[in-house]
């Protein structure tokens, strides 16, 4: 839980005390790497047991993420997705950062190598088990309980603001894959694949709005 709390605190700090883009990316990467190394390292299992299927899940979630906006003109501009509660589908990067390869590289590294570990530790390795039993260590990874499954999916969706709809779909897929594989390493890899392809899409297609 600690890595996720630090992750959210850094997001809050950026809204209160915005730093230049490069300094902001360096701070986030450095702090989160330190937290993962000193706090989460003993419990992170990166072993992948289902390589082809896990890679496919990661690609599939990327397709789910961008498909509505590609297929339906003006889809994301609906008040259903952009409002006072969900926020606006607009990047937090400044115009200069979009031309800065150090910023883009650090942002991609964070999305690919750090965020998947932090989020999977929180959502599916901790919360989905804690909702079943407060003594979550007694609960095996991937144990299915309908209430825990759907609460985590909905909360995961809410974390993604104006992309809550595809966030919900992604949360359902990731939850299902955890139930099927019972493997933290497979979930981290699937999430990393999704985020890496999405990052490449953002940079090379100029779809900056996906980087909130």
Residue 170 belongs to some domain of the structure: yes
Residue 2 belongs to some domain of the structure: no
Residue 19 belongs to some domain of the structure: no
The per-residue pLDDT for 11 is 80
Q: Are 6 and 32 in contact (CB under 8 A)?
A: yes
Residue 167 belongs to some domain of the structure: yes
Phi and psi, residue 117, nearest 5°: -65, -45
The per-residue pLDDT for 17 is 80
The strand pairing partners of 83, in sequence order, are 87
C-alpha–C-alpha distance, residues 118 and 155, integer Å: 15
Residue 133 belongs to some domain of the structure: yes
Smallest CA-to-CA distance from 11 within 121, 115, 123 is with 115
How many Cβ atoms are within 10 Å of 189's Cβ, its own excluded?
A: 23
Distance of CA 170 to the CA centre of its chain: 10
The per-residue pLDDT for 19 is 87
Angle between helices 184-205 and 101-109 (to 10 degrees): 160
Residue 126 belongs to some domain of the structure: yes
User: What residue spans of the chain are helical by DSSP H?
Assistant: 2-16, 21-35, 51-71, 101-109, 115-120, 128-130, 146-158, 164-181, 184-205
Q: What is the span of the domain harbouring residue 114?
A: 46-210
Residue 4 belongs to some domain of the structure: no
Token reading at 19:
């730093």
How high is the mean pLDDT in each 10-residue block of the chain (212 residues)?
84 81 94 93 93 98 98 96 96 93 97 97 98 96 98 98 98 98 98 98 97 94
Residue 25 belongs to some domain of the structure: no
User: What residue spans of 100-145 are helical by DSSP H?
Assistant: 101-109, 115-120, 128-130
The number of domains in the chain is 1
Residue 87 DSSP symbol? B
Token reading at 8:
């959210």
Residues 6+ apart with CB under 8 A from 208: 91, 93, 98, 202
The per-residue pLDDT for 101 is 96
The per-residue pLDDT for 3 is 87
């Amino acid at each position: 839980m600690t890595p996720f709390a630090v992750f959210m605190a850094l997001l809050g700090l950026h809204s209160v005390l915005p730093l230049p883009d490069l300094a902001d990316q360096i701070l986030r990467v450095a702090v989160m790497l330190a937290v993962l190394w000193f706090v989460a390292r003993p419990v992170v299992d990166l072993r992948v047991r289902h390589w082809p299927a896990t890679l496919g899940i990661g690609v599939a979630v990327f397709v789910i993420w961008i498909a509505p906006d590609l297929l339906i003109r003006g889809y994301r501009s609906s008040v259903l997705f952009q409002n006072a509660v969900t926020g606006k589908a607009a990047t937090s990067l400044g115009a200069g950062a979009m031309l800065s390869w150090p910023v883009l590289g650090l942002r991609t590294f964070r999305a690919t190598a750090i965020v998947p570990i932090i989020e999977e530790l929180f959502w599916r390795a901790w919360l989905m088990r804690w909702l079943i039993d407060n003594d979550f260590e007694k609960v095996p990874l991937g144990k299915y309980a309908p209430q825990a499954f759907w609460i985590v999916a909905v909360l995961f969706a809410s974390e993604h603001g104006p992309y809550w709809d595809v966030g919900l779909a992604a949360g359902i897929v990731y939850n299902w894959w955890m139930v099927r594989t019972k493997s933290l390493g497979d979930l981290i890899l699937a999430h990393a694949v999704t985020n890496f392809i999405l990052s490449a899409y953002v940079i090379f297609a100029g779809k900056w709005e996906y980087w909130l």
